Amino acid sequence: MDPALLSQLRQDKLPKHLAIVMDGNGRWAQQRNLPRNAGHRAGVKSVDEIVVTCRRLGIQALTLFALSTENLERPRAEVEVLMHILRVYLRREVERMCQESIRFNTIGDTTVLHPVVQAIIKETLARTAACDGMIFTLALGYGSHAEIVRTAKQLAWHVQQGLLAVDDIDETLFAVHLDTVGLPEVDLLIRTSGEKRLSNFLLWQVAYAELYFTSVLWPDFRSDDLLRALLDYQTRERRFGLTHEQLAPAVQS
């Protein structure tokens, strides 16, 4: 990490929960006349570095958009490579997660993944369950629309069974049934590659998150790029729908 960038970072203004849309693997490979799969493999190096950096900075939760429900519709060969990369990554990194006290977590419908991947995920979840240093979440087989519909169905079932009254349902109860239950609210969402959209990622959870878009392709995204995003985040005034004047007394006190 660049010491000059690191020295500017305020520890008391770090996001508790950082989410990243890891975009640009395919374009990175295309620019180098390589197959798309080379971009996915190169992107793993960025995952390694960003996970380690977030843990060292003291960020409480990191969520990476690894595999959307739409990604599973890509050519079979590409999906198989993604499954292989995920298997290898979890097998390789579980020891480091334990050593660094990183608790592994997933959101999304993992039942759509290869059975071997499902087994490795289950094993990684179990082995890191007692870790309390940082929560590292991979969104796998994830789509926010599907998550919200799934949550609505769960609440409807509870009402149907007489376990819940319709008037009991509010934003707090709804959030408890989302995949992200137990995680802090998302403070900052980063998307790489220059695209400026959310792509069905954490739509409920980023309602008041700060958004940061960078043209850097994911395989090139490193610690210094993360520090620049965090420094930009620390310049933002987070008002949560209030005015600057309403926030000023609280800041002064």
Cα separation, 176 vs 155, in Å, equals: 10
d(CA 212, CA 192): 9
Choose, from 23, 179, 187, 225, the residue flagged as catalytic.
23
Is 2 noted as a catalytic residue in this protein? no
CA distances from 38 to 32, 35, 123, 215, 230 (A): 10, 6, 27, 19, 28
Greatest Cα-to-Cα distance within the chain, rounded to the nearest angstrom: 59
The yes-or-no answer on residue 23 being catalytic is yes
**Of the candidates 141, 93, 91, the residue with the CA atom closest to the CA atom of residue 120:** 91
Identify the bridge partners of residue 136 per DSSP, sorted by sequence position.
62, 104
CA atoms within 13 A on the CB side of 213: 6
- DSSP class of residue 186? P
Backbone angle region of 65, left / alpha / beta, with phi > 0 → left and psi within -120 to 50 → alpha: beta
The C-alpha atoms of residue 52 and residue 100 are separated, in whole angstroms, by: 9
Rounded Cα–Cα distance for residues 5 and 29 (Å): 29
Q: Which residue is catalytic, options 48, 71, 109, 220?
A: 71
Q: Point out the residues that are catalytic.
A: 23, 71
